A and B are shown apart, each in its own frame.
Chain A
Amino acid sequence: MLESIFIEIADIIRYWFLDLGTPELLTEIILMLIKLSAILGFIIVNALWLVYMERKVAAYIQSRIGPIHTGPKGLLQTAADILKLMGKEIILPDGINRIIFILMPILIFVPPLMTWAVIPFGRDMTAVDIDMGVFYILAVGSLSTIIFWAAGWASNNKYSLIGGMRVVAQMVSYELPLVLGLLGVVMISGSLNLNQIVIAQDNVWFIFTQPIAFLIYLIAGISETNRAPFDLVEGESEIIAGPYTEYSGMGFALFFLAEYANMMVVSAVCTVMFLGGWLAPFGMDFIPSWVWFFLKMYFIIFLFMWIRWTYPRMRVDHLMAFGWKVLVPLSLANIFVTGACIYIFRGIGW
């Protein structure tokens, strides 16, 4: 019952509409819209929760308490923050490109939303199941680079511009190891479909067969989400807040939430590609598959937070050198070794 609760809800809605006499095509479109708005709601609620979680985790690491006064155990702290930011005036500085400046904080939510559409939450639970899943995610994921850069460019501020330029440099150089790292998984599973990749991990998770690819993905993933130690883009001690410097009120809040939405996407992809997605470990099937998915995703998110609150920030040239001189050769070597191993194992008939 609990295993397929979301599928059953979808079925109930579908038959309700069909009973009303809605044409089949229209029903599917309506259902798709419902699914997407559910994902949007899910992203926003999760982002709000993650901000709270980040504060609590940070507080724990820094031997503080964290928010406690707003709501039970401070749970409403993020909601209160967002409400406050909504009440703030949105300041449009002189000399900005108004359309781009206002549009970017809204568009920033598009890539995570589009990515979530193809992620398998649980057994048979994918909003849009496409065969090019991995390719699609990588293509959509790099879109956010343009949005950050455009926000930095439109702000008419030198700090924003430096931040925007750093985004482009950083994301382009870390996109490559990210893709090459995932290629190893694709080679083993033999599919670009995310559901197929999850099912291919039935025997052993890819984190054990592709440990180097996992590490490369984790590092490149942190860099993709602009979090410490790769948060040069918004390194507040150097360039104030990078592309967000001139944003105030809700514009700033949207960028802030988008960071967590992006983090969720990266963790979810990591879960699907390396941690067996919604598969239950040790045959613990009594816990629904979607719960497993979220447990694994939150473990990766916790890992990100742990890293963020421990390490200092890297410097731009070190970051580029690390990306091009370490990660790219390493991921190429990984692909080579994986290919050789597959060939050998096929030869001995595994």
Chain B
Amino acid sequence: MKTQTQTYSLNLGPQHPSTHGVFRIILELDGEFVVKATPVPGYLHRGIEKLAEARTYTQVIPYTDRMDYLAGMLMNWGYVMSVEKLMSLEIPERAEYIRVIVGELSRIASHMMSVGALGADLGALTAFTYTFRDREYVMDLLEMTSGSRMTFNYMRVGGVVKDFPPEFYPALKHFLSELPGMCDEYDGLLTGNEIFIARTKNIGIITPEMGINYSLSGPTIRGSGVNLDLRKTRPYSIYDRFDFQVPLGENGDCYDRFRLRIEEMRQSGKIIQQALEQIEEGPIMAKVPKIIKPPVGDVYTEIESSKGIYGSYLVSDGSTKPYRIHFRRPSFINLGYLGDLCKGWKLADVIAILGSIDIVLGEVDC
């Protein structure tokens, strides 16, 4: 009798400890090897784009935090920037600096979460608590200035809603002085660990060509060595005033994507440091009419969010409510390659790959 092996399908999610929420992948497995992977997003769809059509421009802002809830400030920022561009508003200097500071803080918080979650996915639960402990500092800082910890609703068309309180500056300086030490700690716990390297190095390789073809962005594509950081390549807001590097990977494997995020945290710290030195007193809100009514037309703006390029496309019919909004969510676009990327790797590698792409389900399903 001839022995035969048979493939079988394994349903990973939507209730699974390491899909970072309600994401589902249907895996076709041959033993432990993946033959075919079919991602099934959509379990967290709330119809934010449709809901926004029935809200005024200001009322849309709280919906944007709910997309990438790990970096809510950046989500706010991308949206208000598109409205401002449509209205051709001039934003006060101080407001821009405040946006950069809170935006970079949000980026740090998001990367901390991503680093810790990848560690937890690979079984190093201590990394997760370390990053959570440090993320708490960022949450406290953002709470001080915006009043909430996750969904900030902090930015407005024309500026920000509130200036920094006086106690914010010493707290931020303290955090900045601690940040390099925190990053060293993650490096010490994970980056040099033999098992961690064996689990991530040369796993889930994204070539630069495939990355570009699949329109990946953020750390996911920078891990492959593609220098695509909108803050540098197409500076928006006031990012041309800061001196910082864009860390790049070499192999495009999980390890590079992971290492990159720790490096980006250090760079974000540098940007905040410079912003703190340059910031001056002044108004935090531009002269914006009470009722926001952008002229008829459409506009598309992009910012570099923590997961990649976050774009918002806005169509205005001249009324107080947007006619149509569409958000380009980097997590969703980055996921497009997941099916092909997982092919040929082991079941355990799928978890590492998914963790290294760093998705937030709120953003994937919008």
- How many residues on the A side are at the interface (Cβ–Cβ under 8 A)? 28
Tell me the complex Cα distance, A71–B121, Å.
33
Whole-angstrom distance from the CB of A155 to the nearest CB of chain B?
Answer: 14
Given A237-B120, A238-B347, A315-B348: A309 and B125 interface contact (C-beta under 8 Å): yes
Given A235-B348, A309-B126: A314 and B198 interface contact (C-beta under 8 Å): yes
Tell me the complex Cα distance, A239–B123, Å.
12
- Is A211 positioned at the interface, with any CB of B under 8 Å from its CB? no
- Is B351 positioned at the interface, with any CB of A under 8 Å from its CB? yes
Chain A 32-55 against B: per-residue CB contact (8 Å), 1 yes, 0 no?
000000000000000000000000
Given A237-B120, A310-B126: A315 and B17 interface contact (C-beta under 8 Å): no
- Is B195 positioned at the interface, with any CB of A under 8 Å from its CB? yes
Stretch from A58-66, A106-114, A250-258, A333-341 forming part of the interface with B: A58-66
Tell me the complex Cα distance, A317–B348, Å.
10
Whole-angstrom distance from the CB of B268 to the nearest CB of chain A?
Answer: 23
Residues of A within 8 A of B123 (CB): 228-229, 231, 235, 237, 311-313
Given A237-B351, A318-B198: A311 and B16 interface contact (C-beta under 8 Å): no
Chain B 123-147 against A: per-residue CB contact (8 Å), 1 yes, 0 no?
1111001100100000000000000
Secondary structure at chain B's binding surface: helix, strand, loop or mixed? helix
Tell me the complex Cα distance, A58–B125, Å.
10
Task: Give the residues from 219 to 251 in chain B that come closer than 8 angstroms, CB to CB, to chain A.
Answer: none
Q: Are A312 and B195 closer than 8 Å at their CB atoms?
A: yes
Tell me the complex Cα distance, A62–B130, Å.
7
Chain A 204-241 against B: per-residue CB contact (8 Å), 1 yes, 0 no?
00000000000000000000000011011001111110
Whole-angstrom distance from the CB of A304 to the nearest CB of chain B?
Answer: 15
Q: Are A158 and B10 closer than 8 Å at their CB atoms?
A: yes
- Which chain B residue shows the least CB distance to A239? B347
Q: Are B193 and A311 closer than 8 Å at their CB atoms?
A: yes
Chain B 343-365 against A: per-residue CB contact (8 Å), 1 yes, 0 no?
00011110100000000000000
- Is B208 positioned at the interface, with any CB of A under 8 Å from its CB? no
Question: Which residues of A pack against B, CB within 8 Å?
Answer: 58, 61-64, 158-159, 162, 228-229, 231-232, 235-240, 309-318
Residues of A within 8 A of B348 (CB): 232, 235, 238, 313, 315-316
Q: Are B195 and A63 closer than 8 Å at their CB atoms?
A: no
Tell me the complex Cα distance, A63–B119, Å.
16
Tell me the complex Cα distance, A158–B6, Å.
14
Whole-angstrom distance from the CB of A64 to the nearest CB of chain B?
Answer: 6
22 contacts between A and B (CB under 8 A): A62-B129, A63-B129, A64-B129, A162-B32, A229-B123, A235-B123, A235-B348, A237-B121, A237-B122, A238-B348, A239-B347, A311-B195, A312-B119, A312-B195, A312-B199, A313-B124, A313-B199, A313-B348, A314-B198, A315-B199, A316-B32, A316-B346
Whole-angstrom distance from the CB of B305 to the nearest CB of chain A?
Answer: 26
Whole-angstrom distance from the CB of B364 to the nearest CB of chain A?
Answer: 19
Whole-angstrom distance from the CB of A87 to the nearest CB of chain B?
Answer: 23
How many contacts between A and B, using CB within 8 angstroms?
79
Tell me the complex Cα distance, A238–B352, Å.
10
* Residue of B130, B189, B195, B346 touching A313 (CB-CB under 8 A): B195
- Give me 18 other A-B pairs in contact (C-beta within 8 A), A312-B196, A315-B198 excluded: A62-B130, A63-B130, A159-B10, A229-B195, A237-B17, A237-B121, A237-B122, A238-B18, A239-B347, A309-B125, A309-B126, A310-B189, A312-B123, A312-B124, A312-B195, A313-B123, A315-B199, A318-B195
Residues of B within 8 A of A312 (CB): 119, 122-124, 190, 193, 195-196, 199
Q: Are B126 and A240 closer than 8 Å at their CB atoms?
A: no
- Which chain A residue shows the least CB distance to B355? A237
- Which chain B residue shows the least CB distance to A310? B126
Tell me the complex Cα distance, A195–B351, Å.
47
Given A236-B17, A315-B198: A62 and B126 interface contact (C-beta under 8 Å): yes
- Is B43 positioned at the interface, with any CB of A under 8 Å from its CB? no
- Is B169 positioned at the interface, with any CB of A under 8 Å from its CB? no
- Which chain B residue shows the least CB distance to A314? B195
- Is B8 positioned at the interface, with any CB of A under 8 Å from its CB? yes
Whole-angstrom distance from the CB of A57 to the nearest CB of chain B?
Answer: 11
* Residue of A64, A162, A310 touching B347 (CB-CB under 8 A): A162
Whole-angstrom distance from the CB of A317 to the nearest CB of chain B?
Answer: 7
Residues of B within 8 A of A314 (CB): 195, 198-199
Residues of B within 8 A of A239 (CB): 347
Residues of A within 8 A of B193 (CB): 311-312
Q: Are B8 and A158 closer than 8 Å at their CB atoms?
A: yes
Residues of B within 8 A of A311 (CB): 123-124, 193, 195
Whole-angstrom distance from the CB of A230 to the nearest CB of chain B?
Answer: 10
Whole-angstrom distance from the CB of B253 to the nearest CB of chain A?
Answer: 14
Tell me the complex Cα distance, A28–B177, Å.
70
Tell me the complex Cα distance, A130–B346, Å.
46
- Which chain A residue shows the least CB distance to B350? A238
Whole-angstrom distance from the CB of A142 to the nearest CB of chain B?
Answer: 23
- Which chain A residue shows the least CB distance to B194? A311
Chain B 1-28 against A: per-residue CB contact (8 Å), 1 yes, 0 no?
0000000101000001110000000000
